[in-house]
Amino acid sequence: MNQSDQAFVNAYHHNRGLPQVKGVLTLSQQGRAFGFPVVSTLGHECETLQSRRAALLLLAVAGVETDNVPESWSPHPGTDLYEDAQQLLANSSAHQSQHGDPARVVTVTADTKDVVGISDETAQAILANSSMRLELIEPLVPVRAGSELSAHKVESLPEIAEWANRQMQWCAEQLNGEITACVWPYRMGGGQYLAVDLNGVTGSAMFTFTTGVSNDFAHGDNVRAPDMVEALHMVGALFSRLKIHAISVGLPDSAR
């Protein structure tokens, strides 16, 4: 990493805690829960260019001058700038795949800041960066329905069994011995989430369901489900495959 690259990295690291930077990252993570997911329009570009554009946006929001950034520059792995740019891209790509093209696109402006809860400074910083403009979409397609789960009938989506098998294998890599589980729902930023903590004799695994969005049947620590009923049903499918020694519902003792 040359001196100019290091200067960008250092400047971003210094300004990373500014409210406008936190605002953009929070918007990319939680905007979906309010109906305003952040979407990138760069899906057709190569990964290097996408990473560069995301990093340039973050630098602009952080108040770092970007006029002299070389055309070949891109953020280096292992830096705060790179990690935040990758997170921004991951969130925006997930929102794009979730909602697809049938949407009404609304560009972020100072006029929309009250709707999405971002500051005027953040909106202006976004608009000032012509290389990448964050966009908010209002989906026209409703969230896909989940399994049929009534008081008298249970008919799971076939993808749930496949998800539970993959998730079981993922958990088996993290855990050894008897497993205890804690499940608890919580609200954050207008959204509803279901957290799952699993602890073995050695090792632990944690994952969270985001509800109010179409299933993505992702394995790992972030899963999407249309509602809390579907999320709990998926947890049950997983737990039936694991040797759970004990299950508790509610916040863990350390969080009370």
The domain locations on the chain are 3-139, 148-255
The pLDDT tens digits of the residues spanning 60-101 come to 898 988 887 888 888 888 888 988 888 888 777 654 444 443
Distances in Å between the Cα of 94 and the Cα atoms of 51, 166, 236 are 15, 20, 25
User: What's the chain's length in residues?
Assistant: 256
Q: What percentage of the chain reaches a pLDDT higher than 90?
A: 5
Please state the pTM of the whole predicted model. Answer: 0.45
Which of 47-51, 92-96, 179-183 reaches the highest mean pLDDT? 179-183
CB 146 within 8 A of CB 157: yes
CB 95 within 8 A of CB 42: no
User: What pLDDT is attached to residue 235?
Assistant: 92
The pLDDT tens digits of the residues spanning 121-171 come to 555 555 555 444 444 433 333 445 566 667 666 777 888 889 999 989 888
